[in-house]
Structure 1
């Protein structure tokens, strides 16, 4: 009898043990995706044959950030989200704009939680694959799934389909967001756990979901000279999904451009001093807006220049860009340049056509077949075209603005917006810190930081330089805008970013096609200050007739 009891107990014990080993929890954990470092030598060697010397790389992956740690805190949330779930949601999410996603959610076809899980799964799927990873993400918000789940509890019937409510957005990692470090790509700021930037709070007030942080050019590309545009010590080398390790992904908002292009989020936020939104938006075939200085707050953003810096939205469509624009707005008393402006009219934007609109086109650029094709398309839609031959105009002292502004503005950020754990106080402190381990902290050198220290321009001299540059650059545009009563001047990519920067004029760039090699190019609209509503309307009208954007082939 005792033998039989013992036998039964052993059987039960064994059964229980076997059952425990096959629970869904353990099965899910066994299928977790792990990134494994690899030998980069062959990849690095291949870049030496590229025409663009800035793509001659010394490293691919970060030497201080283990990618697995990016999604580690979210693994348990992903344990029950399968490849089957991912593929089922693909048609509802991939390449969709905000209004389409919100409509699917209102109709019960999708939830905010599933939307977030889809992007997290996709990020891990691609970023853990050494043949496809873009090094585009530095951090993910550990609470984002929980936050999305809370949004799903609310009544969705009254949600504005043209709002950022519940929409997963990635921030460039020089924009403060509580719960994630703000590094600017620099090791010295790896533990910069700061409070929210003003625009971060604006997004949260509008109930957007912060998905995480994107890689960038270290110190917004005011760091090394002649180095890869998309490199940071924290995030490694950001890559272009249209030509991984072949085409530049642009800088300094390289990660923000790549994540939107590769559908790792609905939208991303970049920052620009001169070309840092326009360049990566163009290189990654997405829509990017560099607004008038002061339209968006810069408080809580790691700076280069308080004269020229601005954040801006990067999206797959013009209408999404306008939605993000409206979400950012708000006067910030902590930012001396901040102004209160009206929201853009979405109905006005979507009802605009090109009939009777007047555009200035650069005659020299008409040799570019994509630009010439875009201009022809616009003309055939009823617009008037004026061929311009502006005189080549230098921008003397431009570098000085960046040098002297950063020398003063970065210490102000550290004092007012960085976390207390950050020990460095000045540019000189950063230079010294990097010199302690140059191979890891500055493999391409830090020539631009060193240049800051050697610039002795006085405050009075700087004021004169700023006034002169503003006058020169505005004259460059206004001579033609005023003479022909133009609605906008059309450029390519970030070719006129420097002029727009010192003129403090807004610019929006829209995909206009791809070269024979498959590299994206964009048409850039430039107009006078505070003309964002008009620019977005013109960009929307062009986007509607051109429809040039296509998703990168290997990231479909």
Structure 2
């Protein structure tokens, strides 16, 4: 078999089971692809020796008498937000330079315990704060996609930009991502891949560098919905080390992919029809609704009246939690410590270390967060945002109580934009990239982005499906039906 790195998880798993290919061969194909893709800047800490060691162990396991788990022998990329034992885990920030965790995050432990192979750590926005992967200490990630007839470098989205670019460019079979306000679904939409953010609490957050603890959730980024179901089944599960982790059984998500959605009720929220939405996005959305209707679903208009307050509420709550979580990075115990002048005390050490260690976007959000948590503004901003969050959650609860099974929306307000195109604009313009995704995090719901078309310049566009809490299996099945109907098979032309 040639081009082994182009396989998805399901195809590779089946080939491994039949003995048509070995994990070592799969891993070597991916490592070769990574070596030839430096221009994308997706992998930032490569682990070829570890990968081949894990691959050999997986091959031995596959030959054993016991049936190996579904993820056994499959090569993955791991977002730099996940702590990996003995491997640099920097959250793409200078302040964590040199940090080598002596423990494994629960999600990566589950994956490696199931026999998955780690090819290396993937680039991302610093501390997961960004929508374009331009805030990383490692430099920008470049999308493998290009506009037709144009060589301009495009964003792969963020913050899981390295994960999205690596999966789209076939550098790995799949990758881990995290989603605080859209950081799995937006880059998946920009790169023609599938990304699911599970229900808050479905995957453990232990060992994942925190951004906003009540919003962060890990999930898979894959080449197909089936692959997402396979990988999520391994990543999910209760963890006593994470107090927000749900003690619920993890169903066989892959077995739930029947493609039968007859009688399902799909809601179309009228508040997501926003002024200035490009005609291509509107058409994609109506085409997606028609595909689901043709598959037997009932399409209904619904109202989520507090949607317009979602972005402001999110950009109060997330920076407030970031300000609290990032207070621990002070140069005392690990990571970067600034060089001090004679006479400098501990205050100067904190100030200089944090000024040098954090990039501009992280500094901006920490300052916003500190401001909204300060004594004079706590009630005016933070408490009010929390109340709005409750109303947004209730909007979804009301829709589901009325019999809606899933909600269909665009994943992003546009296709991928050029790197540097938003550099000189108001940061709020960048934040608007999250307009369709932040509500899902505020309500703690599962959401998935599925590639369903191309824009006029040949760039991928995705639709988002939002599901009921804890019903990822049903959501994945609806996404599977949409994927089958859309028939998206486009891949970026290789230029790197």
Cα distance in 2 for residues equivalent to 1:386 and 1:321: 27
Instruction: Give, in angstroms, the shift of residue 534 of structure 1.
Output: 1.0
Instruction: Give, in angstroms, the shift of residue 246 of structure 1.
Output: 4.2
Cα distance in 1 for residues equivalent to 2:24 and 2:50: 11
Cα distance in 2 for residues equivalent to 1:465 and 1:297: 28
Cα distance in 2 for residues equivalent to 1:125 and 1:490: 38
Instruction: Give, in angstroms, the shift of residue 547 of structure 1.
Output: 1.8
1:465–1:531 Cα change, 3 Å: farther
Alpha-carbon RMSD across the aligned residues, in angstroms, is 3.1
Find out whether 1:405 has 2:321 as its counterpart: yes
* Partner SS, residue 85 of structure 2: coil
1:431–1:444 Cα change, 3 Å: farther
Instruction: Give, in angstroms, the shift of residue 359 of structure 1.
Output: 0.6
1:320–1:431 Cα change, 3 Å: farther
Larger Rg: 1 or 2?
1
Cα distance in 2 for residues equivalent to 1:166 and 1:193: 25
8 A contact 1:173–1:185 mirrored in 2: yes
User: Which residue does 1:134 correspond to in 2?
Assistant: 40
8 A contact 2:96–2:334 mirrored in 1: no
Find out whether 1:432 has 2:345 as its counterpart: no
Q: 1:265 aligned to 166, 169, 172, which one?
A: 172
User: Which residue does 2:410 correspond to in 1?
Assistant: 492
Cα distance in 2 for residues equivalent to 1:150 and 1:171: 19
User: Which residue does 2:389 correspond to in 1?
Assistant: 470
8 A contact 2:76–2:173 mirrored in 1: yes
Cα distance in 2 for residues equivalent to 1:358 and 1:446: 44
List per-residue Cα deviations over 1:22-44 (Å, max 9, x = no partner): xxxxxxxxxxxxxxxxxxxxxxx
User: Which residue does 2:432 correspond to in 1?
Assistant: none
List per-residue Cα deviations over 1:39-75 (Å, max 9, x = no partner): xxxxxxxxxxxxxxxxxxxxxxxxxxxxxxxxxxxxx
Structure-to-structure mapping, 1:295-306, within 5 angstroms: 295-306=202-213
* Partner SS, residue 538 of structure 1: helix
- TM-score when scaled to structure 1? 0.74
1:427–1:254 Cα change, 3 Å: farther
User: Which residue does 1:217 correspond to in 2?
Assistant: 125
Find out whether 1:208 has 2:111 as its counterpart: no
Instruction: Give, in angstroms, the shift of residue 389 of structure 1.
Output: 5.3
User: Which residue does 1:422 correspond to in 2?
Assistant: 335
* Partner SS, residue 308 of structure 1: coil
User: Which residue does 1:106 correspond to in 2?
Assistant: 17
Q: Which has the higher contact order (CA 8 A, sep 6+)?
A: 2
Q: 2:463 aligned to 523, 527, 537, which one?
A: 523
Stretch of structure 1 that moved more, 392-401 or 98-107: 392-401
8 A contact 1:104–1:110 mirrored in 2: yes
Which consecutive residues of structure 2, in runs of 5 or more, have no partner in the other structure? 339-345, 413-434
Structure-to-structure mapping, 1:151-550, within 5 angstroms: 151-156=58-63, 163-194=70-101, 195-221=103-129, 229-243=132-146, 245-346=152-253, 348-362=255-269, 364=273, 368-388=282-302, 390-391=304-305, 392-395=307-310, 396-411=312-327, 421-422=334-335, 432-433=352-353, 435-436=355-356, 442=359, 446-457=363-374, 461=379, 464-465=383-384, 467-483=386-402, 485-494=403-412, 495-550=435-490
1:345–1:427 Cα change, 3 Å: farther
Which consecutive residues of structure 1, in runs of 5 or more, have no partner in the other structure? 1-87, 128-132, 223-227
Cα distance in 1 for residues equivalent to 2:108 and 2:332: 16
Cα distance in 1 for residues equivalent to 2:394 and 2:361: 37
Instruction: Give, in angstroms, the shift of residue 531 of structure 1.
Output: 1.6
1:334–1:106 Cα change, 3 Å: closer
8 A contact 2:93–2:359 mirrored in 1: no
Stretch of structure 1 that moved more, 249-258 or 354-363: 354-363
8 A contact 2:125–2:136 mirrored in 1: no
8 A contact 1:398–1:469 mirrored in 2: no
- Matched residues, number: 450
* Partner SS, residue 553 of structure 1: coil
1:109–1:430 Cα change, 3 Å: farther
Cα distance in 2 for residues equivalent to 1:393 and 1:172: 31
List per-residue Cα deviations over 1:251-299 (Å, max 9, x = no partner): 1111111111111111100111101111111111111111111111111
User: Which residue does 2:491 correspond to in 1?
Assistant: 551
* Partner SS, residue 476 of structure 1: helix
1:522–1:419 Cα change, 3 Å: farther
Cα distance in 2 for residues equivalent to 1:159 and 1:259: 32
Cα distance in 2 for residues equivalent to 1:329 and 1:429: 40
* Partner SS, residue 554 of structure 1: coil
1:538–1:148 Cα change, 3 Å: same
